[in-house]
Chain A
Amino acid sequence: MTGVALAASGPVIPDYGSQSSSCVVHNHFFCTDWIANNWSSVLWPALRGHMLLCLAAVTIGFAISLTLAIAAHRYRRLERPTLLVTTFLYTIPSLALFELLVAPVGPNVFSAEIALVSYTLLILFRNILTGLREVPDEILDAAEGMGMSRRQTLWRVELPLALPAIVAGLRIAVVTIIALATIVYTIYDAGLGVPIHNALGEGPFKTELIAAGGLAIVLALLADALLVAAQRVLTPWTRARAG
């Protein structure tokens, strides 16, 4: 804690002397003490920023995709144009899309979020729509026979049954966004891309590079595992069938 306070009021050129071990000084391949010393000042803020960027993007992307998919489920005509636009957005390489947004929106968190959200749309829209369409006709007939309205059928029958496909889409979207968010640093100072970028400029010292890159990969794999667990809890019937 005192180290952080000192750094904030200290000289502009950071004083590596106070925290550098012989490992850091001699540029050993991986220095665990560097991680311990820089976790709260470098790695954790980057990781937290990364998670917030991704969480916001997936939440907004999911809301938009769900709306679009429900609309396209009801009005088939909407499917083709939506797929065309979302495929177009998905195809544009991330580095280019971020810069293309900077011109009209500016180098800020909004550009970053618009780009990240646009990458979730194709994946989520396609999976939600397929999930909704694959609900068997007999089940829909049964729902109608029970006197359910169209809205009740959607929320109480179709969407729950589409959950496996929806979660499958969420898994892909989350993992993709976590990977892409490392590029956000090119336009907005946030995410794990920041320490990766700094580390790339540091020459022979590799610890920060490996730590920040590794964190991005571990975060993606953890988020994926979490969603798999969530799906198992939310859709007990799929296990019953498989078992």
Chain B
Amino acid sequence: MHEFLEAFRFIAHNGAIAGQPALPTLTHLALETLKVGAIGVAISLVIAVPVGVWLGHVHRGSFVAINLGNIGRALPSLAVLAIGDAFLGLGLTVVELALVILAVPPIVTNAYLAVDGVDRDLVDAAKGMGMSSAEILRRVELPLAVPLVFAGIRTAAVFVISTTTIASLAGFSGSLGDVIANETSYHFSGVLGAAICVAALALAVEGVLALVQRALTPRGLLISQPERARGRVADAVTA
């Protein structure tokens, strides 16, 4: 386990390597990774949430919404980046484009399932109370859909961090993947240290989003939610 000791030493030195003063620090690279990823997730949210929520609200397009999720998974990040590189040349634009292509499908699929799956009796009750379609969406469907919508966002966020680091393999520089892709400068201890940081970053993002999801979930749903959400996701995947 000598390698792991060396790797932790590398992390403790914040990515500094003796004799190579010009290398960026690990903190800097971690923040860059988060920045690139956050831009990608933000763009995806703006595109995917309205589409998924609207399709779910009108109960249409289930085939598209569900299969989109599977097609999104079928796209290898590296292949998307490589093909984007071939057509447009690699830069932040192509990386963000790849992130959006990979993050939109899970968000659309989950937002659709979340809103489409809201108990019809509740929607009928809201109608009976005289709510308009927009009010039903805003005051009934959306609050109840939050947990599952958020599950999609979490999946997307993890995809995005993973892909941002893979972008370094395609030659994009500006993430923790730079260290992993550059064993010549960093040696294996550096590569391993960066891998530990990437794993920690992904787990931290997942953890924070899980907490946000919990905070946004209506209190009434918290007790029964895990069971229901899980059953529902599997249902949907079956369809």
Contact = CB atoms under 8 A, between A and B. Distances in A.
Interface of A: 29, 88, 90-100, 102-104, 126-127, 130-131, 133-134, 164-165, 168-169, 171-172, 175-176, 178-183, 186, 192-193, 196-197, 199-200, 206, 209-210, 212-214, 216-217, 220-221, 224
Given A99-B195, A200-B85, A91 B70 contact: no
B166 A209 contact: no
A100 B78 contact: no
A175 B73 contact: yes
Nearest to A199: B82
A94 B86 CA distance: 23
B206 interface: yes
The size class of the interface chain B forms with chain A is 35 or more
A180 B76 contact: yes
Nearest to A127: B234
A127 B188 CA distance: 37
B230 A213 contact: no
Given A96-B196, A134-B231, A175 B74 contact: yes
Interface in B191-234: 191-192, 194-196, 198-199, 202-203, 206, 230-231, 233-234
A220 B74 contact: yes
B73 A168 contact: no
A29 B198 CA distance: 35
8 contacts: A29-B86, A95-B162, A130-B234, A131-B234, A171-B70, A183-B166, A212-B82, A220-B73
Contacts of B171: 200
Given A127-B234, A165-B234, A94 B79 contact: no
Given A126-B230, A165-B238, A100 B199 contact: yes
Given A100-B192, A199-B82, A210-B83, A217 B76 contact: yes
A196 B86 CA distance: 11
B173 interface: no
Contacts of A104: 1
B169 interface: yes
Interface of B: 1, 3-4, 7, 70-71, 73-80, 82-83, 85-86, 158, 161-162, 165-166, 169-171, 177, 180, 188, 191-192, 194-196, 198-199, 202-203, 206, 230-231, 233-234, 237-238
Nearest to B204: A91
Given A95-B162, A200-B82, A217-B79, A165 B237 contact: yes
A182 B80 CA distance: 11
B75 A179 contact: yes
A210 B74 contact: no
A197 B169 contact: yes
B234 A95 contact: no
Contact of A95 (B80, B83, B180): B180
| Main secondary structure on A side of the interface with B | helix
B90 to A, nearest CB: 9
Nearest to B161: A93
B183 to A, nearest CB: 9
A92 B202 contact: yes
Given A103-B192, A179-B74, A183-B169, 8 more contacts: A99-B192, A100-B196, A165-B237, A182-B77, A182-B79, A186-B169, A217-B74, A217-B79
A196 B79 contact: yes
B198 A95 contact: yes
A199 B83 CA distance: 11
Contacts of B79: 179, 182, 192, 196, 212-214, 216-217
A126 to B, nearest CB: 7
Contact of A91 (B71, B75, B166, B202): B202
Contact of B76 (A179, A186, A224): A179
A94 B161 CA distance: 10
